[in-house]
Structure 1
Amino acid sequence: MNIDPKHTAFGRHETFPLRYAWLTKGYRAVTERPDIFAQPDRAMVKLGVGRNMVSAILYWLQAARLLDYADGEATPTTLGQVILGDEGDRFLEDEATLWVLHWLIASNSRLATGFYWFFNRFALPRFREDELRAGLTDFVARELRIERSASTLKSDTSTLLRMYAPGDPTEPGRGEDHLDTPMSQLRLVEQTGQGREFLSLRSPRPFLPPLALHVALAECFADDRQGRPAIPVRDLLYGRDDGAAPGAVFRLSEDGLMTALNRVMRTWPGCYELRDTAGVHQLYRVRDVASPEAILEDYYRQDAAA
């Protein structure tokens, strides 16, 4: 999704990082009663959490693009049905699903703007929390040209770090989040142990599941405004037209991205080709690539049959 200053969202997670059981619980509750989130007291009992956590669960289901919510009713998206339905990975047991969910959140500029900014636009590989907050504040003021309170932006940076950086169990407020948030497993952000410094480095990441990159590539081609059959590898690495970049979202080095692309091409032969055109290294869509929903549905079907 390309970023649009008129459609942004900050701080709607109520300062709660995504937790393991939330997506499954929230999705199941919605399939049983679509208006459950319009009745906070009923939702608190059904989900077994407090009022603010109810709001956070609804937010994360929307940020991960698993649910649409309008006029007091929630509707599972096709992605939601594929991932959290009976034939999917409703308990998030497959690590590939976590990487896909990470992409869905970090590329969602409308509902997870701070997360989108961090993974696609923030350039410092080593930083302190105050530097992260200053960077987001500057982006909102100078590029988006909108006003957001300092406390709202602070809640986004704090929640992002607690969600992605493995926590120190001895540090108040971080250990519990680390144990219960799936995104810390991906190790995309790490705490250095030197005070409040963090690292978010590009690296080869040989453990990145090809499925996650295939889903991201399918979205990149589908979102291309001009419908071009090829995307320069540099754009996949760093982004273009304010769109999300798989290389940035997955924190891949250039060599890591090339290796990951080759793994995707071996796993799904006939979908993509790497070519040099007029001196530009590009990834070509050889034939119409299936939608992310179809890719995931086929993956889970094969996994169940294995």
Structure 2
Amino acid sequence: MQLNREHTSFGRHETFPLRFGWLPKSLLALGDSPELFEHPESAMRRLGVGRNMVNAIHYWLRVCGLVSFEDKPARITALGTALLGPEADPYLEDDATLWIIHWLIASNAELATGFFWFFNRFAAPRFTEADALSALSDFAAAELRLNRAATTLKSDISTLLRLYAAVPGRTDEHLDALLAPLGLIEADPEGGYRSPRAPRPFLPLVALEFAIAQRFAAEPDQPALSVRGLLYAEGDWAAPGAVFRLNEDGLMRHLDELLAAYPGRYELRDTAGLHQLYWLERDKRPEPLAVLNRYYR
């Protein structure tokens, strides 16, 4: 969730965007065979994909934090169960789940650095693929002090655009553009793409609440988060407002909705000229998984 310049990665997805059935099908398969990804041939047969796609699925499961491969055999995490478990949304039917998956990808600065950069640092409301590639190259060289091959960075940009943007005339939309329904990146009729900040009234409250809970949980000693920090990525933290492409009015409207839904839990205050969101239940820290369990169950 916070950018660490010593731990970044690009192009680990084998140029395959996350596809619709990959996460539910993989969790179901891992529930039966936790060692599935230790045997690529078995994974290919069980998941019905080629070897490179098996590697891509492995990558996306890690990026979303749904499966831990640190120990053998792999295990479905508490997050994986809370989001896509049998009592949650096992078939990816709820629009809120897509928004939460988007947050998990775009806030993962370590495993999906290019995606984190795009949503938290790249602010151009209109751009071409070449514009984004040039800006990502500058970011990698100037801020990360990395010399990444242009082909690697280009694969991140092209994969991101295929995941988020439905392009008229492309025949593989049903496979690639899983997150296009969110409307965060759209093909520009005049050429290139658009990704403006907007009020986004259809953003599910649970997605914003989950993102804010993760931010509070990442800094357990902080009683408040600045509204500006929630709107813009400051101090290398992922910002819900930036990730969800909210403008200031949209963020404030959603925060008001959050306060109305949970009176006594959150409060907006102006302290020394700083607009902040406070967590009021000091004896109980925000629990992101509790947000999901309450919503899905």
What is the TM-score of this pair, normalised by structure 1? Answer: 0.93
Task: Give the deviation of 1:179 after TM superposition.
Answer: 5.3
Instruction: Provide the C-alpha distance between the structure 2 equivalents of 1:272 and 1:299, rounded to a whole number of angstroms.
Output: 18
Task: Give the deviation of 1:268 after TM superposition.
Answer: 2.4
1:103 aligns with 2:111: no
What percent of counterpart residues are identical?
54
Task: Give the deviation of 1:269 after TM superposition.
Answer: 2.4
Alignment of 1:239-254 (within 5 A): 239-254=233-248
Moved more, 20-29 or 175-184: 175-184
Instruction: Provide the C-alpha distance between the structure 1 equivalents of 2:42 and 2:276, rounded to a whole number of angstroms.
Output: 52
SS at match of 1:53: helix
Alignment of 1:217-296 (within 5 A): 217-224=212-219, 227-287=221-281, 288-296=284-292
Task: Give the deviation of 1:75 after TM superposition.
Answer: 1.6
Instruction: Provide the C-alpha distance between the structure 1 equivalents of 2:125 and 2:46, rounded to a whole number of angstroms.
Output: 41
Alignment of 1:147-158 (within 5 A): 147-158=147-158
Instruction: Provide the C-alpha distance between the structure 2 equivalents of 1:10 and 1:192, rounded to a whole number of angstroms.
Output: 26
Q: In the alignment, what sits opposite 2:33?
A: 33
Q: In the alignment, what sits opposite 1:92?
A: 92
Instruction: Provide the C-alpha distance between the structure 1 equivalents of 2:149 and 2:35, rounded to a whole number of angstroms.
Output: 31
Instruction: Provide the C-alpha distance between the structure 2 equivalents of 1:60 and 1:282, rounded to a whole number of angstroms.
Output: 34
Task: Give the deviation of 1:65 after TM superposition.
Answer: 1.1
1:247-276: CA deviations, max 9, x gaps? 000000000000011111222222211111
Task: Give the deviation of 1:193 after TM superposition.
Answer: 2.2
Task: Give the deviation of 1:177 after TM superposition.
Answer: 3.4
Q: Which of 207, 211, 215 matches 1:212?
A: 207
Moved more, 204-213 or 4-13: 4-13
SS at match of 1:147: coil
1:109-154: CA deviations, max 9, x gaps? 1111100000001121110000101111111111011222111110
The answer (yes or no) to whether the contact 1:166–1:178 under 8 Å persists in 2 is: no
Q: In the alignment, what sits opposite 1:119?
A: 119
- The total of aligned residue pairs comes to 295
1:174-196: CA deviations, max 9, x gaps? x313555321110100111223x
Instruction: Provide the C-alpha distance between the structure 1 equivalents of 2:217 and 2:263, rounded to a whole number of angstroms.
Output: 19
Q: In the alignment, what sits opposite 1:63?
A: 63
Instruction: Provide the C-alpha distance between the structure 2 equivalents of 1:115 and 1:25, rounded to a whole number of angstroms.
Output: 24
Unpaired runs of 5+ residues, structure 1, are 302-306
SS at match of 1:70: coil
AA partner of residue 279 (structure 2): R
1:142 aligns with 2:142: yes
The answer (yes or no) to whether the contact 1:188–1:251 under 8 Å persists in 2 is: yes
Give the 3 Å change call, closer, same or farther, for CA 239–96 of structure 1 in structure 2.
same
SS at match of 2:153: helix
Give the 3 Å change call, closer, same or farther, for CA 177–54 of structure 1 in structure 2.
farther
The answer (yes or no) to whether the contact 2:216–2:286 under 8 Å persists in 1 is: no
Unpaired runs of 5+ residues, structure 2, are none
1:182 aligns with 2:178: yes
What is the TM-score of this pair, normalised by structure 2? Answer: 0.96
SS at match of 2:21: helix
AA partner of residue 177 (structure 1): E
1:62-109: CA deviations, max 9, x gaps? 111111113563221110011121111011111111111111110001
Q: In the alignment, what sits opposite 2:159?
A: 159
AA partner of residue 38 (structure 1): E
SS at match of 2:235: coil
